[in-house]
Amino acid sequence: MMLEPFSPYRANEFQVKFSTSDWERQEAHALRRAVFCDEQKIFESDDRDAIDDHAIPIVALSMMGVAADRLVGTVRIHQEEPGLWWGSRLAVHADFRKIGALGATLIRLAVSSANAMGCHTFLANVQVQNGLLFRRLHWDVIEEFEVYGKPHLRMKADLAWYPPCPTPETGLVALARKAA
């Protein structure tokens, strides 16, 4: 029997949810390292910081039937003070950036779950090249600045577009677009 190489187009469904296992947290950190250290060269060897000590990691899992096949996206959220939430370290595996709305679904669960936990303001520092995606998802630019040597936008989510999600451990489903 011959095994076919992995193809992201085989997975037609992705579960986006709060990380609930050690392997999900480990793979989320590995993906962040791949994106922010290896690919974008923003950090030298690791992007972890003090926020990771209290942040809630959110993951996107490629589903093969009812089982998770691999982790393909992540973002983290944290509450800085009562009602003020931040999202950061949004990363989607390069093989999965063009096949579905994974980034948008990660953002949606991040804001909706914070909204369910009493959020009145949700902010993120967004790389300029991702600003259009956030604008389409009903975020406003508050200011432009540079961090880690790259231009960023401080953006604020319009919470009216993000109904509270009371079950972030099971999360949301994102469907892949059909392969061309």
Q: Residue 27 is part of a domain; what is its CATH number?
A: 3.40.630.30
- HSE-up of residue 154 (Cα within 13 Å, Cβ side): 9
- Check residue 38 and give its pLDDT: 95
pLDDT of the residue at 80: 98
- Please report whether residue 3 resides in a domain: no
Question: Can you give the pLDDT at residue 7?
Answer: 44
Residue 5 lies in a domain: no
CB-CB contact of 74 with 91 (8 Å): yes
> How much is the pLDDT for 6?
39
Q: How many domains does the chain have?
A: 1
Query: What confidence score (pLDDT) does residue 5 get?
Result: 38
Asked, for residue 145, whether it belongs to a domain, the answer is yes
What pLDDT shows up at residue 69? 79
**Tell me: the pLDDT tens digits for 26-67?**
999 999 999 999 999 999 999 999 999 999 999 999 887 666
Domain that holds residue 69: 13-175
For residue 84, what are the contacts with CB-CB under 8 A and spacing of at least 6?
119, 120, 121, 123
Residues in the chain with pLDDT values less than 50: 1-9, 179-180
Q: What is the pLDDT of residue 11?
A: 53
**So what's the pLDDT on residue 13?**
85
